[in-house]
Chains A and B, each alone.
Chain A
Amino acid sequence: MTLAAHPHAVRPLRKRIADASEPYLYSAPALILIIAVMLVPLVLGISYAFRDIQLLNPLSGGFIGLDHFRALSEDQAFFRALRNTLWWTGASVFLQFLFGLILALLLDKPFAGRGLAQALVFLPWAVPSFLAGLNWAWLFNPVIGPLPHWMHALGILDAPNNILSDPHLAMWGPIVANVWWGIPFFAITLLAALQAIPRDLYEAASIDGAGPVQRFLSITLPFLAPTIAITILLRTVWISNFADLIVVMTNGGPADRTQIVASYIFTQAFRRLDFGYASAIALVLLVLLLAYSMLIVLLRQTLLNKG
């Protein structure tokens, strides 16, 4: 009797546990992978910011609290890099967007050879960033590149010098390279959004009496707004983290004039080998970009709700 009754009492409990844990067990492999791949490095990286980690000092590694952040708050090179980052990101994103939008509007109109033009426009995107950086560095080099001579002939430069070695102009070098490299991203995404706008809206507007400018303002722009918001968000985060071109073309020089936060982190981590300090800077950059992203996401949400 007891032997017979006992398994009846136990089995439901086991079964209940098995039933309850079933969904977690199914999702566990994916969750464990995601945590291992995404969260662990993030937490480790953040933890470095509060530790003294210098590769050349075997005694380092201890917890030092907010010391890195205190040092950072007095680091003039960091604030210069922050200002340079704003300048580099703002100018690059704005110009990429502007030229990308113009290109997308041109490619939206049917003309002979449009397919080929669309393919060619995409080409810079396929060039590796290091190659693009080297290429533009050579173009700006008066010994082998034509650009300084052309700019001198046009009166933009006093003499055919390398703008990459001029502290006041050096930042324009990587910005120009970045704009050239990044236009396709905006052109292609904006073109896709443009082509999704129903044509009869433009026809209705032209019958209603709207000219090209009014049609652009009252149809094209509202339709593009959500795409514009999300692409600008993506590109801003991307470009402010994007040190390749700067490292290749100027290496932060001359006299730190082209040093942005991302290249400053690179310099701290891999030139000075101070991983702790580099992590602290990275954490500050992360917080700033997160705040910025939130802002854009909110903006986009309101735009979408309005539409």
Chain B
Amino acid sequence: MASIDIQDIRKSFGAFSVLHGVDLTIRDGEFIVLVGPSGCGKSTLLRMIAGLEDVTSGDIRIDGKRVNDLAPKDRDIAMVFQSYALYPHMSVADNMSYSLKLRRTAKEKIASAVGGAAAKLGLDPLLERRPRALSGGQRQRVAMGRAIVRQPKAFLFDEPLSNLDARLREQMRAEIKKLHGDLHATSIYVTHDQIEAMTLADRIVAMHAGVVQQVGTPLDLYDRPANLFVAGFIGSPGMNFFEGRYLVSGDHADLRLANGVTLPVPRRAGIESGATATLGIRPEHVVLDAHGALEAKVDLIEPTGFGIIMHVSIHDVPMKIFTLDRAMLDPGPAVRVDLPQERLHLFGTQGQRVE
């Protein structure tokens, strides 16, 4: 177990720069999720921590020790790959004990470590099998078993659940969370799936285009997204945005949309009157109310079983509403809605959150 300290890490492949100075401090035992769309640099960052990619500039410290120039095997970390990367010609037991054998660990110690990990992951009946005789979920478990037998300082997960079907992903997600609860091992988990990020993380690091957008607890990111990217990335269905001009008149403020419609917004100190701004509200926070202030034309109804996603438009601006009200399965041509002031997010000209 160890803390990991990342200072101003940069990475470029030739002239192409993929990470533009990342700073991150991971506390001992913390579960950190790096989340972002494909190509945002999250996997590259993880691979640099693992030692599989060279660091262009900056420092990585594990447990206070600078590891930039250490080989992967000397960093005392374990990694779980998306493809599992199990050795196909070795049995499950051999896969799990390979690292211990290479470190010339005593036989009894190997047996007890493998036995302990297998018991924890329910792999006991599979120890003599070869990976190709296992299902995807079982392979995933073996890959995690291979990581935990060594009791490394940190676990690195590179999209470990992406190759599983939805049901299995849900199940393994819970197992990873439980495992972390048992082991309290420092973990860094890379995913593009915001549900995995929200459910697993102690803190989420949202990345975009090689830059960290926001670091915080899952609820921080959900309740107070730092910018438009985070606001749009976290949450499903995604947040609704209205672009316009922020205008103050007297003691109240409005957002004037391009088509001339004005929406009342809370007054914020961080933005000048007349500046372009974006208003955001999550679909689940839009209130359906027969006496609501706004009329919304209904375009499409998507029942999900649990709730209903309504695609509507307010003065020709498209918007989504999420509701649990089954009466909305047949809402008629239009509904009336309210946008509660306390649920509104306001973003400035640069897309940054305005308080």
Report A's interface with B, CB cutoff 8 A. Answer: 198, 200-201, 203-210, 214, 218-219, 222-223, 306-307
Contacts and interface: CB of A to CB of B under 8 A. Distances in A.
Nearest to A307: B89
Closest 9 CB pairs of A and B: A208-B99, A204-B85, A209-B73, A200-B85, A209-B102, A222-B89, A207-B72, A307-B89, A206-B72
Interface in B110-152: 130, 146
A210 B97 CA distance: 12
A207 B87 contact: no
Given A198-B83, A201-B87, A206 B71 contact: yes
A26 to B, nearest CB: 38
Contacts of B90: 218
Interface stretch (B74-82, B227-235, B250-258): B74-82
Contacts of B130: 307
Contacts of A204: 79, 81, 85, 87, 146
A239 B191 CA distance: 53
Contacts of A203: 50, 52, 72, 79, 81, 85
Interface of B: 50-52, 71-73, 77-79, 81, 83, 85, 87-90, 98-99, 102-103, 130, 146
Contact of B87 (A206, A209, A219, A306): A219
A195 B85 CA distance: 16
Contacts of B77: 207
A93 B267 CA distance: 83
Contact of A210 (B50, B51, B102): B102
- Interface majority SS (helix, strand, loop, mixed), chain A: helix
B73 A198 contact: no
A207 B73 contact: yes
Nearest to A222: B89
B102 A207 contact: no
A218 B98 CA distance: 10
Given A198-B83, A200-B83, A214-B102, A207 B78 contact: yes
Given A218-B98, A219-B87, A306-B89, A207 B50 contact: yes
Contacts of B79: 203-204, 207
- Interface majority SS (helix, strand, loop, mixed), chain B: loop
- Count chain B CB atoms within 10 A of each CB in A207, A214, A218 and give the residue with the most: A207
A211 B51 CA distance: 14
A215 to B, nearest CB: 10
B98 A208 contact: yes
Nearest to A202: B85
Given A198-B83, A206-B51, A208-B98, 19 more contacts: A200-B83, A201-B85, A201-B87, A203-B50, A203-B79, A203-B81, A206-B73, A207-B52, A207-B72, A207-B73, A207-B77, A207-B78, A207-B79, A208-B99, A209-B73, A209-B103, A210-B73, A222-B88, A307-B88
24 contacts: A198-B83, A198-B85, A200-B83, A201-B85, A201-B87, A203-B50, A203-B52, A206-B73, A207-B52, A207-B77, A207-B78, A207-B79, A207-B99, A208-B99, A209-B73, A210-B73, A210-B98, A210-B102, A214-B102, A218-B87, A218-B98, A222-B88, A222-B89, A307-B88
B158 to A, nearest CB: 9
A299 B79 CA distance: 35
A198 B83 CA distance: 9
A135 B28 CA distance: 69
Nearest to B147: A207
Nearest to A210: B102
A208 B103 CA distance: 9
Contacts of A307: 88-89, 130
Contact of A200 (B72, B78, B81, B103): B81
Contacts of A222: 88-89
A210 B71 CA distance: 11
Nearest to B73: A209
- Count chain A CB atoms within 10 A of each CB in B50, B73, B85 and give the residue with the most: B85
A295 to B, nearest CB: 22
A69 to B, nearest CB: 45
Nearest to B77: A207
Nearest to A221: B89
A198 B89 CA distance: 13
B99 A209 contact: yes
Given A198-B83, A200-B85, A201-B87, A206 B103 contact: no
A214 B88 CA distance: 16
A203 B90 CA distance: 16
Contacts of B88: 222, 307
Nearest to A218: B87
Contacts of B83: 198, 200
Contacts of A209: 73, 99, 102-103
A143 to B, nearest CB: 53
Contacts of B52: 203, 206-207
A204 B47 CA distance: 11
Nearest to B99: A208
Nearest to A199: B85
Given A198-B83, A307-B88, A208 B50 contact: no
A185 to B, nearest CB: 25
